[in-house]
């Protein structure tokens, strides 16, 4: 179903930088997979290839049973949450959350229902009229999550979504994103360089180094074999 499969995936950037080397990854439906490793190890590139934001140099990507290599991002049934939130500054929270559905010509009453449901889940109902600049970092991150939720994607992709938050909020949002995963009951693929974040959130941890997957294990097994 919402299975994600990477087969012998490589990414070579212009200038002959091989960012991802022969990555093989089999992600089951409803897993919370965390890609972890030091800066520059190819986590973000891997995620962006799944999202379709970066072309795959060679190898195959499947989402569900469908080969996705040449499928546009909007047709991949994924939603991505970025580190910098990527909210539209001139739009209200409501409009930010509704925008993607509007583009897809979803009826207004359906959009309204989805936006309000997502806002309720994320506890941002009282912020719907605000502009992003009038929000705290944590609130902005919730809006970014809300924008992903309303699309009801099969797969959620998150690239260091908590790294701009202060330590206390980061710990709180970890718990909330884990809860969100349980509640939505769908596949999450989450990138972080933070070991603790990886261990506390993932059901499966993928350790990368220099563009290569070093280890794939459940969090308790990573503890045993550091």
Residue 183 interacting with ligand ADP (CB under 6 A): no
Q: Which of residues 123-142 bind ligand ADP (CB under 6 A)?
A: 128-129
Considering only residues 1, 13, 74, 86, which one is a binding residue for ligand ADP as defined by CB under 6 A? 13
Q: How far apart are the first and last CA of the chain?
A: 32
Minimum distance from CB of 201 to ligand ADP (Å)?
Answer: 17
Interatomic CA distance for residues 115 and 101, integer angstroms:
10
The alpha carbon torsion through 168, 85, 94, 108 (nearest 10 deg) reads -130
CB of 55 to ligand ADP, least distance (A): 11
How many residues in the shown chain lie near ligand ADP by CB under 6 A?
18
Residue of 35, 61, 34 whose CA lies nearest to 50? 61
CB of 75 to ligand ADP, least distance (A): 23
- CB of residue 54 to ligand ADP, shortest distance in Å: 8
Site membership for ligand ADP, residue 173 (CB under 6 A)? no
- Considering only residues 66, 90, 108, 113, which one is a binding residue for ligand ADP as defined by CB under 6 A? 108
Pairing of β 155-159 and β 187-192: parallel
Is residue 55 a contact point for ligand ADP (CB under 6 A)? Answer: no
Q: Tell me the C-alpha distance between 86 and 37, whole Å.
A: 24
- Give the residue with the Cβ less far from ligand ADP, 44 or 139: 44
Q: Which is nearer to ligand ADP, 2 or 35 (CB)?
A: 35
Q: How far apart are CA 205 and CA 214, in angstroms?
A: 11
Rounded-to-integer distance, Cα 155 and Cα 139, Å: 22
User: Shortest gap between Cβ of 144 and ligand ADP (angstroms)?
Assistant: 17
Neighbours of 225 (CB within 10 A): 7
Determine if 161 is a binding residue for ligand ADP (CB under 6 A): no
Sign for the pseudo-dihedral over CA of 112, 117, 120, 124: negative
Residues making contact with ligand ADP (CB under 6 A) = 13, 15, 17, 19, 37, 39-45, 92, 94, 108, 112, 128-129
């Amino acid at each position: 179903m919402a299975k994600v499969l990477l087969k012998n995936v490589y990414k070579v950037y212009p200038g002959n930088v091989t960012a991802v080397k022969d990555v093989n990854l089999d992600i089951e439906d409803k897993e919370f997979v965390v890609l972890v490793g030091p800066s520059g190890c190819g986590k973000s590139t891997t995620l962006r290839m799944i999202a379709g934001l970066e072309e795959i140099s060679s190898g195959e990507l499947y989402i569900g049973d469908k080969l996705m290599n040449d499928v546009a991002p909007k047709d991949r049934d994924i939603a991505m949450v970025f580190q910098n939130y990527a909210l539209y500054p001139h739009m209200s929270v409501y409009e930010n959350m509704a925008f993607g559905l509007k583009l897809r010509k979803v009826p207004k009453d359906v959009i309204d229902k989805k936006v309000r449901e997502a806002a309720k889940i994320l506890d941002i109902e009282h912020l719907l009229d605000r502009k992003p600049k009038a929000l705290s970092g944590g609130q902005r991150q919730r809006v970014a999550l809300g924008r992903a939720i309303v699309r009801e994607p099969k797969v959620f992709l998150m690239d260091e979504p908590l790294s701009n938050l202060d330590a206390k909020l980061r710990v709180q949002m970890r718990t909330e994103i884990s809860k969100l995963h349980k509640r939505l009951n769908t596949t999450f693929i989450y990138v972080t360089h933070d070991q603790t974040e990886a261990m506390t959130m993932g059901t499966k941890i993928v350790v990368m180094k220099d563009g290569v997957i070093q280890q794939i294990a459940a969090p308790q097994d990573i503890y045993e074999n550091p």
